[in-house]
Amino acid sequence: MVEYIPVLIFLLVAALIPVALLSVGRLLRPAQKNQVKGEAYECGVPSSGDARARYPIRFYIVAVLFVVFDVETIFLFPWAVKYRHLGMTGFVTMLVFLGVLLVGYAYAWRKKALEWV
């Protein structure tokens, strides 16, 4: 059980530091509430309309497509770093990967999923 004492000390310190810092912050900060502080802030422009406005489904489709293609292109960086080490097999594999990516992009374009405006 002696081996667990450092772990317990670590957990105790990890729990006490946030509590202590939040307590000190509460004591030191000014606590003057007013209506302006409670309003939503949107880039210095007064907010207009409801915050729960509905968006068309095409907006979400474009967002998902962006995330998918963005994550897919992240795989290009490690490949580019190890390009010389991978040789022709790595080159062909990346061509297949880019081909699949291009087919997915063409499919989304043909289905007009990218035209949400």
**Can you give the pLDDT of all 117 residues of the chain as single tens digits?**
889 999 999 999 999 999 999 999 999 988 777 777 777 766 767 667 776 777 777 778 878 888 888 888 888 888 888 888 888 998 898 899 889 888 988 888 888 877 765
With contact defined as beta carbons under 8 Å apart, do 79 and 90 qualify?
yes
Interatomic CA distance for residues 11 and 8, integer angstroms: 5
H or E stretch covering 19: helix 5-28
Provide the pLDDT for residue 65.
Answer: 82
| Residue whose token pair is 């915050």 | 51
The residue whose two tokens read 């912050």 is: 25
Ordered by where they begin, the domains of the chain are: 54-117 (1.20.58.1610)
**Intra-chain end-to-end CA distance of the chain, in Å:** 64
Distance between CA atoms of 59 and 67, rounded to whole angstroms?
Answer: 13
pTM given for the model: 0.46
Give the pLDDT confidence score for residue 72 in this predicted structure. Answer: 81
Residue type, 15: A
Q: How far apart are CA 105 and CA 57, in angstroms?
A: 18
